[in-house]
Structure 1
Amino acid sequence: MFPGANAAREDADFVIVGAPLDVSTSFQPGTRFGPDRIRRFARSFEDYDHHTDSRFTDLAVHDHGDIGAWDDARDYLDYLSGVLADVHREDAVPILLGGEHTVTVAGVEAVEPDVFVTVDAHLDLRESYAGNEWSHATVTRHALDVADRAVILGARAGSEAEWERATAGDVTVVPPPAVGDWEPDFGEESVYLSVDIDAADPAFAPGTGTKEPFGLDSRTMRTVLTRVAPAMDGFDVVEVNDQDDGQAATLAAKLLRRAVFDHADR
């Protein structure tokens, strides 16, 4: 159980679901261990948050546990989306713990947002990667099958075709140096927020599958959460693996808590 997620399901305003999918990681696997590591490295955190003057244990968070993954990614996403859609229909915020970034597709399909906001080192706008249309490198393209537009914060890597796709009117890319000054303008739009931990510079989160230097620092990522979380209808943090001493999982767990605190305090 995620520390402090002590609410009963019927009383929950936030429901955590683990999704340890690890089938398309293209460089350094291990995201199957992400949900457990995020929960474990959250154990040392204080319950109280002085920024919002609230306690995590008072915010009606429930941990559903993990949905064990299998090899057929599309079949798994269909099942996972159904679980998350039930949470959304119950007027709670689904919080997804990856797992590879592919699991985000299930979250977006469940929530059906107007805007997909992703904090990511990569554009993830490929049609397929290594012949796989459900690769972790295709997530934002799939999200745009549901959402009207995508905002990619911190991107610094992509193929030539992806950068060309990113010039279309339904995609906004905010490079790492500009993320701290970015201000969202959602109006009445619904929002899904996805955090790929590789958006962080590897100095802050080395335990991830596809590292990209020159990324975001942890404070900037916290700022993004504070600005976007009040508007979010769904949230995930993904691509944490077991290839470090807990830095990536600790950052992911802290960002999850930031999202809950700031959404509850909106």
Structure 2
Amino acid sequence: MFPGAVAEREDANFVVVGAPLDVSTTFQPGTRFGPRRIRTFAETFDDYDSRTTQHFSERQVHDHGDVHAWDDAAEYLEFLEGTLTDVVWDDAVPLLLGGEHTVSVAGVRATAPDVFVCLDAHLDLREEYDGNPLSHACVTRHALEVADEAIVLGARTGSESEWQRASREDVTVVPPESVGEWNFGDRLADREVYLSVDIDAADPAYAPGTGTMEPFGLEPREIRDVVREVAPHAVGFDVVEVNDRDDGQAATLAAKVCREFVFSRAAVDDGDSEDGDSGGTSLDTDD
């Protein structure tokens, strides 16, 4: 169980769902261990958040557990989408723990956002990778089959065809060196957003436990600040691509980012969101 996720399902405002898919991971596999490691390395965090004066255990978070993965990615995504759709129908926000980035496809399909916001080292705009259209390298392209727009922050690599696709009006790419000074302005106002955090958006110095490391990436604080800004508008969230190839740095960052999302999203209904009215789903709290 994710530490502090003590709410019963029928009372939940947020539902953690583990998705340990690991079928198309390139270079360093191990994302099947991601959800477990994220939960484990979250155990050291205090329940109280001084910035928002909230207790995580009072945010009505429920842990559904893992959706056991198998080798057929298409079938798995369909099943996972059903699980996440149930969460949405229960008026809760899904918190998806990956697993390879492919699992975000199920999250986007279940929440049907207007905008897909992604922190990622890679563009993920390929039509296929090694002949596989459901590769983790194709996630943003699949997201655009549902969402009207994709905003990718921290991207620093991609194929020539991906950069050409990224030049179209429905894609915005913010390079790592610009993320700290970039803001969304009113681009998210009155729009529903799905927020995806690929842990490889962080520089490998901070999160080496991921499949495809790419240097010159983001610092953890930059990722945190994006999550805080986007969370009030979000109808779904995931953090993905954590594996077991480090001493817990990637999992710790992923777990902290997940908590930051919950605190910032829940603050909307407490009336103390830094971004004001999100225009998103209203969540009930017991506070």
The aligned residue for residue 70 of structure 1 is 70
Q: Which of 242, 245, 248 in structure 1 is aligned with 2:247? A: 245
SS in 2 for 1:106: helix
User: C-alpha displacement at 1:181, in angstroms?
Assistant: 1.6
Written as runs of structure 1 = structure 2, the 5 A alignment for 1:6-17 is 6-17=6-17
SS in 1 for 2:65: strand
The aligned residue for residue 190 of structure 2 is 188
Once residues 27 and 246 of structure 1 are traced to their aligned partners in structure 2, the CA distance between those partners, rounded to angstroms, is: 19
Once residues 190 and 31 of structure 2 are traced to their aligned partners in structure 1, the CA distance between those partners, rounded to angstroms, is: 34
1:51 and 2:51 are equivalent in the alignment = yes
**Structure 1 spans left out of the alignment, 5+ residues:** none
What TM-score, normalized by structure 2, do the two folds share?
0.92
Q: Which runs of 4 or more aligned residues in structure 1 lie more than 2 Å from their structure 2 counterparts after TM superposition? A: none
The aligned residue for residue 197 of structure 1 is 199
User: C-alpha displacement at 1:157, in angstroms?
Assistant: 0.6
Written as runs of structure 1 = structure 2, the 5 A alignment for 1:130-169 is 130-169=130-169
Once residues 232 and 263 of structure 1 are traced to their aligned partners in structure 2, the CA distance between those partners, rounded to angstroms, is: 7
The aligned residue for residue 218 of structure 1 is 220
State the identity %.
68
Once residues 67 and 135 of structure 2 are traced to their aligned partners in structure 1, the CA distance between those partners, rounded to angstroms, is: 19
User: C-alpha displacement at 1:87, in angstroms?
Assistant: 0.4
SS in 1 for 2:37: helix
SS in 2 for 1:234: strand
Once residues 222 and 189 of structure 2 are traced to their aligned partners in structure 1, the CA distance between those partners, rounded to angstroms, is: 23
The aligned residue for residue 122 of structure 1 is 122
Q: Which moved more, 1:180-189 or 1:28-37?
A: 180-189
The aligned residue for residue 84 of structure 1 is 84
Q: Which moved more, 1:182-191 or 1:148-157?
A: 182-191
The aligned residue for residue 101 of structure 1 is 101
The aligned residue for residue 233 of structure 1 is 235
Once residues 80 and 68 of structure 2 are traced to their aligned partners in structure 1, the CA distance between those partners, rounded to angstroms, is: 10
SS in 2 for 1:256: helix
User: Number of matched residues?
Assistant: 266
The aligned residue for residue 285 of structure 2 is none
